[in-house]
Amino acid sequence: MTRTVDEALLDDPDALAEADRHGTLLALAGAGAQVRAAQTLAGEAGISAVADDGRPRALVVSALGGSAVVADLLTALAGPRSPVPVSSVHSGTLPGWVSSLDVVVAVSVSGRAAGPLAVAAEAARRGCRLVTVGRAGSPLAEVCARARGVHVPLASDLRSSRAGLWALAVPVLMAADSLRLVEAGAAALDETAARLDDVAETARPASESFVNPAKALALELAGHVPLVLGAGDLAGVGALRAAGQLARNARHPAVPGILPDAAGEVVATFDGPFARAEDDLFADPFETPEQTTLRLLLLRDVEEFEEPDVGRIAAVVRDTAVDSGVRVTEHRAEGRSALARVASLVALTDFASVYLALGLGLDPATSRHVAELKERMGS
């Protein structure tokens, strides 16, 4: 059954509130507050102690599912100029080379996710410096306490990584800032919180679609196959997050990519089966089903900070799409610090994914099939 977006619902704040039974929009609106609360919780936990023994040989982050973007964010912010390698673990196995010379970070909302829990336990056995982020009193917190690491608890009302990214990410970034691997000090975090507040204001439910960029984006993506491209590593984090949020919140598949590497793969689809169909003046609209077509969502950094080669390739891909009849939506980041800039892109697409879900009559907070998957996997 093909669903269509209820545009009238998107412009009715009362109807949105009724449809959003679990308060996902409200949770996203509190992203700025999450940053501030996480700063306080991390500070109280003594996050700066991770740097007491100096800079490590490497920093390894274990985060799975919706939390995995924390590792993506840290890696992008550290970048190629990082004085030590920053890597991520996408399973429950800690790489064999990791030793007491390294810092290991494990992230899990519940503090019970098998992968991060196993990584944290193994890191403790090897004598690594350990930082964990998750529920207070959870198994993850207990492992960290036994290893004399630093555990940062989450606010009690945090339900999922999809609406609580910043509660998870800020302690990790603060740890990396203490190690002088990224710029995520008080000034950058304050700017990020303010930028998230700004996006929440412009994307608020009472703001109508023609002036609300998140609602407008939801309507533009509806019924299309989105190709979500990030121009460069920072915008690439936004692209990966957007594709994940569209899938989990709106049940809407999207193909993410990061320029410059993904350019060839993306433009190759412009004459494929989902490219724009040639107009047929004699086609019967009642007998010929409407074709699902591509939509390019191009996420870019602030022009001042975008690498020239990346910007040039992004422009070429955009122009090629237009020439091929593929519709394009382009959004640029806002802000000065790298963290604030990527946050502006993430916040916009987070809201758009929820508006798309609600417009389609779906609950962004729950998925029957995901619940069945977890039940069958025993997690």
Whether residue 266 sits in one domain with residue 155: no
pLDDT value, residue 377: 72
Q: Would you give the end-to-end CA distance of the chain in angstroms?
A: 30
Answer with the one of 126, 153, 184 that is the final residue of a domain: 184
Whether residue 337 sits in one domain with residue 228: yes
Whether residue 68 sits in one domain with residue 51: yes
* Contacts (Cβ under 8 Å, ≥6 apart) of 169: 38, 69, 70, 73, 74
pLDDT value, residue 299: 98
Query: SS3 of 129, please?
Result: strand
pLDDT value, residue 280: 45
pLDDT value, residue 286: 46
CA-closest candidate to residue 296, choices 273, 275, 311, 272: 275
Strand partners, 14: none
191: in domain? no
Query: Could you give phi then psi for residue 354, rounded to 5 degrees?
Result: -75, -40
Q: Is the dihedral of CA 130, 379, 97, 233 positive or negative?
A: negative
C-alpha–C-alpha distance, residues 251 and 239, integer Å:
16
Whether residue 261 sits in one domain with residue 356: yes
193: in domain? no
Whether residue 15 sits in one domain with residue 39: no
Answer with the one of 120, 150, 184 that is the final residue of a domain: 184
Whether residue 230 sits in one domain with residue 256: yes
pLDDT value, residue 368: 84
198: in domain? no
DSSP state of 119: H
DSSP state of 82: -
Whether residue 259 sits in one domain with residue 153: no
323: in domain? yes
Burial (CB count <10 Å: 0-12, 13-18, 19+), residue 320: middle
pLDDT value, residue 379: 58
343: in domain? yes
Radius of gyration of the chain (CA): 21
C-alpha–C-alpha distance, residues 36 and 190, integer Å:
8
- Provide the Cα torsion 256, 259, 264, 269; round to 10°: 30
pLDDT value, residue 176: 97
Strands (E) located in the chain: 59-62, 86-89, 103-107, 129-134, 150-153, 224-231, 255-259, 293-300, 327-332
pLDDT value, residue 367: 81
Query: SS3 of 182, please?
Result: coil
Whether residue 177 sits in one domain with residue 326: no
Walk along the chain (379 residues) in steps of 10 and give the mean pLDDT of each run: 84 96 94 96 97 96 90 94 93 94 96 94 97 96 97 84 92 97 96 98 95 97 95 96 96 96 95 72 49 92 96 97 96 97 98 97 87 72
pLDDT value, residue 364: 92
pLDDT value, residue 48: 96
CA-closest candidate to residue 379, choices 112, 132, 122, 117: 112
Domain with 166 in it: 24-184
C-alpha–C-alpha distance, residues 308 and 161, integer Å:
34
CA-closest candidate to residue 66, choices 32, 120, 24: 24
CA-closest candidate to residue 203, choices 25, 5, 35, 17: 25
Question: Helix, strand, coil: what percent of the chain each, to 5?
Answer: 50, 15, 40
237: in domain? yes
Whether residue 17 sits in one domain with residue 29: no
Strands (E) located in 119-168: 129-134, 150-153
Question: Quick check: pTM over 0.75?
Answer: yes
Whether residue 28 sits in one domain with residue 13: no
For the chain, what is the domain count?
A: 2
Contact (Cβ atoms closer than 8 angstroms) between residue 196 and residue 32: yes
Whether residue 30 sits in one domain with residue 163: yes
C-alpha–C-alpha distance, residues 158 and 38, integer Å:
11
Answer with the one of 124, 154, 184 that is the final residue of a domain: 184
Whether residue 288 sits in one domain with residue 231: yes
Contact (Cβ atoms closer than 8 angstroms) between residue 130 and residue 149: yes
374: in domain? no
pLDDT value, residue 120: 97
CA 22 to chain centre: 20
Q: Kindly state the tokens that stand for 25.
A: 């929009």
Contact (Cβ atoms closer than 8 angstroms) between residue 108 and residue 67: yes
- Residue 332: CATH number of its domain: 3.40.50.10490
352: in domain? yes
pLDDT value, residue 220: 96
In order, the DSSP letters of 285-337 are TTTSPPPPEEEEEEEE--TTTS-HHHHHHHHHHHHHHHHTT-EEEEEE---SS
Q: Which residues of 74-113 are buried (b: 16+ CB within 10 A; e: fewer)?
A: bbbbbeeebebebebbeebebeeebeeebbbbbbbbebeb
